[in-house]
Amino acid sequence: MASDKILVLTDSNFKETLEKTAVPIVIDFWAEWCGPCKMVAPSVEELAEELKGKIQFAKMDVDSNQQVPMQFAVRSIPTFAVFNKGNLCGKFTGAMAKDQLKKEIFRYLPESAQ
């Protein structure tokens, strides 16, 4: 469920990826069996294309990677975590339309990052 515009994160590459990503990063915590995760996936793909160069999108499968989701108290999916300069700015849960997803992401970022 990832494309060339969306990074695939794991417990082992999470910290390094956050440290080397120059732009804000939005992580989609998901699972293959999750219906709402599949529903929101096209919106995530579209936003990754639309915001390319401004925001990096990434996905982390919570079934294959449990350490990082536990660290950030991911209790339901999809959960989106917004990081800027390696710091967690905020997180939100649930499938939503593309425009609402974009609005939620921007809520946690300074205008300079938008």
Cis geometry, peptide bond prior to residue 78 (ω within 30 degrees of 0): yes
Position 3 pLDDT exceeds 90 = no
Contacts of 114 (CB under 8 A, 6+ apart): 54, 106
Contacts of 46 (CB under 8 A, 6+ apart): 98
Residues 6-109, CATH architecture: 3-Layer(aba) Sandwich (3.40)
Give residue limits of the domains in the chain: 6-109
Tokens at residue 29, please?
């915590």
H or E segment and range at residue 53: none
Please give the pLDDT value at position 75: 95
Average pLDDT over the chain, rounded to an integer: 93
20-53 tens-digit pLDDT = 999 999 999 999 999 999 999 999 999 999 999 9
Q: Is 34 a catalytic residue?
A: yes
Report, as an integer, the average pLDDT of 89-113. Answer: 92
Report yes or no on whether pTM surpasses 0.75: yes
Tokens at residue 6, please?
């969306």
Distances (CA, A) of 81 to 31, 69, 98: 15, 10, 16
Catalytic residue among 37, 40, 58, 62: 37
Residue 112: pLDDT band by 50, 70, 90 thresholds? low
Catalytic residue among 18, 34, 40, 105: 34
